[in-house]
Amino acid sequence: MKIRKLLLPMALLAAFNAYGYDFENGNVYYDILSVEDHTCEVVSFGLEYANSYSGEVVIPNIVSHQNVEYTVVRVDDFAFSQCGSLKSVTLPNSVCEIGKYAFFDSKSLEKIDFGEGVSNIDEYAFYGCSSLSAICLPQKVRKIPYFAFGYCKNLTGITLPKDIEKIEDNAFFECENLAEFEFPSQIKEVGVAVFYKCKSLSAIRIPSQIEEIGSDMFNGCSSLREIEFEGKVEAIGDGAFRKCTSLKSFSMPNSVKSVGKDAFAGCSLLSNLALSENLETVEEYAFSGLVSLKEMALPKNLKSVGKFAFDGCSRLQSVVIPESVEQVYDNAFRGCVSLFNVQIKDGKSSLDLGNNGESKGLFGDCPLNEVYVGRDLSYKTNGVGPFSNTENLKKITIGENVTEINKYEFANCAEVKSLRLPDSLTKIGQYAFEGCGMKTIDIPKSVQNIGDGAFSGCVNVSSLNLAEGVVSIGDYAFSGCVNLSEVNSMNVNVPKCKGAAVFDSNVYLNAELYVPQEALSAYQEADVWKNFLSISGKQFGGAELIYNDLTVAVNGLDLIVNAQEGVAVNVYNVAGQCIYSGANHQVQLPACGVYIVNVGGKVSKILVK
């Protein structure tokens, strides 16, 4: 947050105190500015500027000194500074300028009448005037400077001239009772932290000329409920709406392209957040602590999500990450303890994901139960992937653009009971599905490489189907699959195994290995495969004889039954769910996999690949 510190260097004070004043008239002190022009300015008493004035002070247009009349044109720097008993000041129309710190910290000042001539007010002019309740600036003023009304804690309203063009940083800093504010029609530039901690401000209209909401502009405006945008704001700065704790709904203009750090952090009631369709970057902590937010659909043009962007959004239940996103940084969803559903939309390019600390993947704090991954993911791994150790994850859907499942991507997701791998997949990384709970593993024909430990510890697996594309299998790939009873390897060229520990010893002893009939002898002689006690040849993908002349064939996803007309056909998946029941002899199957076919009481297991 850009907040200028109030510093009064000793050298400056010394110079000021030594200056004194030229003359006094009516208990007001003056310095002569120009003898030729007969102009003067109001100054402080001199050596001790504090408490130079008290009560009600009225400055005339013209004052006399030594029989010469002078026009009062300026209020000097520090002139009424720290006048603790000063109640009101009336300036003449002749005054055109109010200097730095002119009324600084005059805590009892209740009223200031500017006159019509003031065109310039300098920085800190009314800083700390905590008794001022209302101000009407003259029409010639074009700029409100740094901290001009900072800490005017009782200021409830201010009337600005329509031609003001610029409001500088911290102009109304901590004016905590400022309830209403209307930007002038000619405003062109608004600085940072202008309304910082204006706790009573409830509504604001952003005019069309303003293209950026500056850093901390409304930070701490705890009563702000309504924000109206008239124009095309392109950027929301760091901390712009931080801790606007009454803000429940925010509709971001579609012109906005960037949201800065902490921009909406701590907006605890914000439950309805519509992001700009053209938003490209979300910086770190931008939406952290939005404890009422439940859903978030990131816009289609977004490119990056910063660190801790949604940190602590404890009610966030669903997130959709579009194809446009290139990177989601570390801890983006830390503390999202209600996040159940994540969708990573289909895309051709990979998505780079950060981590959640050293020992957790990006979604390590999230009780996910459903995930859709539509493109390749890349990330740094330290024994974890983005969805590792997600105890409640039950459904994983992998899109047709995914070519590789990376290391540890879904490791130890024990509640995953079924898994369909797409035909686009070519590689399964090390320990990608370690410790998952599926009962059947169907490796599609597009997959060539299965990494070390890829399915290790999948204790529920009973059936493994390796399509004809598999050429290499890493060590320990299926170790710990203690209930594996059937392995189908369909490649006529025997896949190379990295080591004997690909399968457990009990699997070699008890499981049935089925291989292409024409490659039976090759498997019986190949390392690792020859360890299976039972190896049988099989015709994959053709018609399978069930009983006498009763056959079942597969053509794509069509199941074709050759049987007498009217014979009952029942088809089940490996989970025991009935897929079809009737008398049709051509059945459309929903997906590749293993099916149990019952034709007239005769049962066969069919692999559809």
Cβ pair 582, 598 in contact under 8 A: no
> Residue with structure tokens 């930007």?
183
Nearest-angstrom CA–CA distance, 394 and 340: 10
Each residue of 226-265: b (16+ CB within 10 Å) or e? ebebeeebbbbbbbbbbbbbbbeebebbebbbbbbbbbbb
pLDDT of residue 47: 57
For the record, the structure tokens of 584 come out as: 């049709």
Rounded to whole angstroms, the Cα distance separating 61 from 249 reads 52
Alpha carbon 597 to its chain's center: 49
The gap from C-alpha 192 to its chain's centroid, in whole angstroms, comes to 22
Query: Is the separation of the CB atoms in 346 and 323 below 8 Å?
Result: yes
Within 13 A of 95's CA, how many CA atoms are on the CB side?
Answer: 24
CA–CA separation, 457 vs 411, rounded Å?
Answer: 10
- Structure token digits, residue 240: 């712009």
pLDDT value of position 533 = 97
Single-letter residue type at 150:
G
Q: Are 323 and 303 in contact (CB under 8 A)?
A: no
Contact 399, 376 (CB under 8 A): no
- Where in 380-511 does DSSP place strands (E)? 395-398, 404-405, 418-420, 427-428, 440-443, 449-450, 463-466, 472-473, 486-489, 496-497
Give the span between the Cα atoms of 209 and 229, in whole angstroms: 10
Domains of the chain (ranges plus CATH)? Answer: 1-179 (3.80.10.10), 544-608 (2.60.40)
Q: What are the tokens at 129? A: 């005037």
**Which pLDDT score, from 0 to 100, does residue 7 have?**
43
C-beta neighbour count of 609 within 10 angstroms: 20
Bridge partners (DSSP) listed for residue 466: 443, 489
pLDDT at 185: 86
The span from the CA of 475 to the CA of 454, in Å, is 9
Give the span between the Cα atoms of 567 and 1, in whole angstroms.
78
Q: What pTM value is reported for the model?
A: 0.82
> Could you tell me if 523 and 515 are in contact, meaning their C-beta atoms sit under 8 angstroms apart?
yes
With H, G, I as helix, E, B as strand and everything else as coil, classify residue 505. Answer: helix
Q: Which residues of the chain have pLDDT under 70?
A: 1-19, 46-49, 541-550, 609
Q: How far apart are CA 173 and CA 191, in angstroms?
A: 11
Task: Write the single-letter amino acid at 521.
Answer: S
Q: Could you count the other beta carbons within 10 Å of the beta carbon of residue 500?
A: 12
Cα separation, 72 vs 80, whole angstroms: 15
Token pair recorded at residue 17: 């105190």
Answer for the pair 106, 83: CB distance below 8 angstroms, yes or no: yes
8 A C-beta contact, residue 272 and residue 296:
no
Distance CA 452, CA 297 (A): 36
How many helices (H) and strands (E) the chain has is answered by 3, 51
Give the residue from 490, 495, 496 showing the smallest Cα distance to 538. Answer: 490
Amino acid at site 193 = A
- Provide the 8-state DSSP code for 584: -
Q: What is the pLDDT of residues 148-205, one digit of tens each?
A: 999 999 999 999 999 999 999 999 999 999 999 999 988 999 999 999 999 999 999 9
Distance CA 567, CA 417 (A): 33
Phi, psi at 57, each rounded to 5°: -115, 125
pLDDT at 140: 96
